[in-house]
Chains A and B, each alone.
Chain A
């Protein structure tokens, strides 16, 4: 049995050597099969105000969101073209009143559905209705292992207690649970306790995801950037836990790329195996792609089919494969390993999405950015700028936004 999809790993058909042959023989559009899984960002509305929110700084308003009928049409079309899994995300997907109806529709057209949620709006009745509608898997985000840190980071009082409750309901309903823990300087000291919390909640998987620094997180980089010592400790804790908890809890670990030597293979490569749909219906190569100005993204509300947009739209083809690469990527032996890293990060840090991701040590900007990150981590400026529709709110003394 071969695994054909697992968190950003390539499909056999898209393995690096297989792809090189295909790219030489056929057009770019023919090379890329329809992704196995698609992320549906149903809304940007969210009761949490996490300072590292991965949504774009310019949030889609509720009034621009796709309607229930439009989302159903999208789900039907996705199933028809060969998508197998749908991740319902946001913002907070449970803020949509039609979520049960959309999960039911996903089931009706044969899609495997995941709910990626903060869980603070869930009730047991709502979760039970989602399970009855065919929901297959629940992923709940946690900001810490106890309320003091967790509620402050989320910018919402009692958030942590609600998440714990919802996680317990998830397992009572016999739904598989993934705990997603977003890590940064101000909660990394809780990592061991977070791992134990995931075990106690009877989770199947734990994602230890270090903050990715674009959008809101970039605005908060000085408050979030871990120290080198923290990262070394993190890797040690994760490695030890992965061995100790084999067969009990699967742990996926995303290394913070500022402290890595090579950049991450972001999204498995631009336009190679993933797309997401924004609340307003734009088809995007990654959820942060709208942060890149100057790229036009096509919408499901246009006259084009989703498959056409995936295969032919200018935005998807701009950074596909290796043809767009400048040096040092162009002649690099790793160019089909990491595909030049992250386009959004390259844009955020260099002003040009077509540059090498500065997370790579071969980028001429790497040294400068790494030094800056180290300085920021050491400066201990811990105040957050909370994410919201008002363009962000600075944390105040004692109030902590929560």
Chain B
């Protein structure tokens, strides 16, 4: 249950849960997130951020990368990215990479 209610911060290493798929729908020419009983259409920015969510990168790394790419203010990017990831996490489309205990 805990994994379903994560709190996103710069140290989080988010990843799409295994039952959630991000894919490009060739027929409708849009990116979609496939989840139980749902198909969502993320916008361009969400797709770019979600593609960075591999469970290895931290949110901090993602923000650095995006700030460099768009030559934008790091604080602004961090605020936007964390808000978006938290929203996705609250809806169950994002989880925290499992801690390796061994």
A172 CB, nearest partner CB in chain B, Å: 14
Contact for B40 among A1, A81, A202, CB less than 8 A: A1
- Chain B residue with minimal CB distance to A81? B27
Interface presence of A34 (CB below 8 A): yes
Known A6-B37, A110-B23, A112-B21; further 9 A-B contacts with Cβ < 8 A: A1-B43, A4-B32, A33-B28, A36-B39, A84-B32, A114-B37, A137-B37, A139-B36, A248-B5
Contact for B39 among A37, A247, A248, CB less than 8 A: A37
- Which A residues touch B28, using CB under 8 A? 33, 82
Q: Interface size bucket, A side?
A: 20 to 34
Whether the pair A136, B21 counts as a contact (CB closer than 8 A) is yes
Number of B residues with CB within 8 Å of any CB on chain A: 25
Show the binding face of B for A, using Cβ within 8 Å. 1, 4-5, 17-19, 21, 23, 25-28, 32, 34, 36-43, 46, 90, 92
Interface presence of A220 (CB below 8 A): no
B67 CB, nearest partner CB in chain A, Å: 22
- Chain A residue with minimal CB distance to B42? A1
| Alpha-carbon separation in the docked complex, A188 to B86 (Å) | 36
Contact A2:B34 (CB < 8 A) given known A176-B19, A248-B1: no
A129 CB, nearest partner CB in chain B, Å: 16
| Alpha-carbon separation in the docked complex, A112 to B17 (Å) | 14
Whether the pair B32, A204 counts as a contact (CB closer than 8 A) is no
Contact A178:B40 (CB < 8 A) given known A1-B46, A136-B19, A247-B90: no
Closest 9 CB pairs of A and B: A82-B27, A112-B34, A137-B36, A5-B39, A176-B19, A136-B19, A36-B39, A4-B41, A1-B42
B35 CB, nearest partner CB in chain A, Å: 8
Whether the pair A175, B19 counts as a contact (CB closer than 8 A) is yes
